Structure 1
């Protein structure tokens, strides 16, 4: 009986000390790891968020870029960091793709992290060279079915989101398209503008200005609903491929085991930061749609994305070493 009493006291003391710790958090600078190079969409979003979080938390948020291996290097760093709330990851949906493409990853997106909050989306869109004789998704599907395998579609590289969106589109629309992988968005875009490839799934940040100049044509956006800053472009779902969903999301994650009290503190401050009109206006220019969530909702999103890409990888027979 005394043993159980001592155990109960120990648990109570631990809970009390953790509550005090959470109340004192943060008492030093917080590191935000961005697993992509500087100046990209993720970096711009992370630095803007970091600035607002710093103001809200009352502590510096230090940005550290750790690019490489499709974001897995930065993700591994955070997964193995102390679970004290002082090392965070600005993750993207690419970690769910990597988990299904590579046999040996040093982390599990669903188990190695404590979800904090969704941060937002930077939607992709399907754009085509103006010479392609199709002005809608339905016309594109009909064209592709009339010449199976003859249309070349670029991607930003094997295993990237633009590649997976292409594979999902092929499966959902029932068409044969030839995948042409490039090393990065700029190379793919150069060949698309030159007419060497027909289409590309790319972020609205880089594609929309070219659409507005008439250098590309937009066939549909990869988003649950039309974008407020481009309401004339239909979603791919309403344009002819029901259920097409491949959101390019970004979220804040902490190492697994981070105390729930600290996760809640961070969640509250992220939601507060995303309410900033100045932040929303600044990131809208980058094509970002800001949106916070509960930790539970983010955990569900991660599991759903893992399942979605697992099915696509299996059905498309994608294999990467």
Structure 2
């Protein structure tokens, strides 16, 4: 009597292979790309900034946590230069397999809007994975200045347009765009004074060399609490727990004013959606961890952790806002 069991097993295996191939074809991914479960080798996270600083520390915190979540080594590689363009383009040109990721921040959407040399198209080149953290900024001035609120600041600027200046860490930064957006909304003018870094701008406003500065709440709140600076408003859509008595710009009478710096993770465009989704789920879980949230807060960030779709919508909205502002205000960096 013939034993048909081995034949049936071979038939079932063949059928399973056909199903897998059909699924792969539906995703538009070659069979070898999904021959092994993701990830099956180390993952590289590219940071387009120099080593050191809070952003780099956050990248290494993420890598350490992702290593445990994904079960593979996660390597952080710093590739600074050209306003983050070098590192960004290295990821864009990388294989679309989820093994090379970009860890970057708000400069991505700003540079794409104002810098002609920043040849990056977000929709064409990158696949958003997750916004990890965000940081609300504080618009601050010396306590001796006559204006105590944003409406009073606007009134002062209209009455004495040549007597108001703001300092930033350079054109095309989040601080710079905050003031340009405020100028656009209120039809006022203020002189921009660029500095080599935000610390120099803060020192200048405290010395009375300039009248205004915008920097993360985390870096300014102690100066406000000590009475050295006055917080006029925070730029996000909710008050900061560090300065709960300081209103948002929106509360001050400017609807839909919501500008925060962010740091997130992106993959090359064309990376298979199941891989992007898995990475997104991993980042969300990591940012919900109490210890990670605590360490992120210690670096000056508010943990967020968003889905790929949520991050994509944020980037599109932000890109449209900055592009419109750059066109209206003729903001171009050559």
TM-score > 0.5 by shorter chain = yes
Shift of 1:200: 0.9
- Give 1:208-227 correspondences, 5 Å limit: 208-227=221-240
In the TM superposition, residue 271 of structure 1 has moved relative to its aligned partner by: 1.0
Query: In structure 2, do the counterparts of structure 1 residues 9 and 120 end up closer, same or farther at CA, with 3 Å as the change threshold?
Result: closer
Matched, 1:290 2:294: no
Equivalence map 1:97-108=2 (5 Å): 97-108=110-121
What residue number does 1:264 align with? 277
Q: How does 1:77-226 map to 2 (within 5 A)?
A: 77-226=90-239
**Out of 50, 60, 72, which is 2:63 matched to?**
50
Q: How does 1:235-274 map to 2 (within 5 A)?
A: 235-274=248-287
- Tell me what 2:54 maps to: 41
Q: 1:208/1:68 Cα in 2 relative to 1: closer, same or farther (>3 Å)? A: farther
1:107-165 Cα shifts (integer Å, max 9, x gaps): 21222011111212011111112222222212212221220132111011011111111
SS of the equivalent of 1:41 reads helix
Contact 2:167 2:193 in 1 (8 A): yes
Distance in 1 of aligned mates of 2:292 and 2:285? 11
Gaps of at least 5 residues in structure 2 are 1-18
1:29-77 CA-partner distances (Å, limit 9, x unpaired): 2111122223333223222222222221122221122223322222111
1:305 and 2:318 aligned = yes
Q: Which region of structure 1 is more displaced relative to structure 2, 98-107 or 134-143?
A: 98-107
The equivalent residue for 1:5 is none
The structure number with the bigger radius of gyration is 2
Contact 1:119 1:252 in 2 (8 A): yes
Contact 2:106–2:263 (CA under 8 A) maintained in structure 1: yes
Summarize deviations over 1:285-312 as a string: whole Å, max 9, x none. Answer: 2331111222122111111111100111
For 2:70 and 2:142, the matched residues in 1 are separated by 46
**Equivalence for 2:7:** none
1:318 aligns with 2:315: no
Call closer, same or farther: CA 1:24–1:215 in 2, change over 3 Å. Answer: same
Offset at residue 233 of structure 1 (A): 1.6
Are 1:36 and 1:65, in contact at CA under 8 Å, matched by a contact in 2?
yes
Query: In 2 relative to 1, CA 188–21 (structure 1 residues): closer, same or farther, beyond 3 Å?
Result: same
C-alpha contact 2:33 2:97 (8 A) present in aligned 1: no
Runs of 4+ in 1 over 4 A off after TM superposition: 8-20
> Partner of 1:3 in structure 2?
none
Tell whether 2:81 aligns with 1:68.
yes
Higher mean C-alpha deviation, range 215-224 or range 67-76: 67-76
Structure 1 range deviating more: 23-32 or 12-21 = 12-21
- 1:12 deviates by 4.9
In 1, the alpha carbon distance for the partners of 2:51 and 2:142 equals: 29
CA RMSD of aligned residues (A): 2.3
Determine the C-alpha separation between the residues in 1 that align with 2:35 and 2:184: 47
Structure 1 gap segments, 5+ residues each: 1-7
Tell me if the contact between 1:85 and 1:254 (Cα under 8 Å) persists in the aligned partners: yes
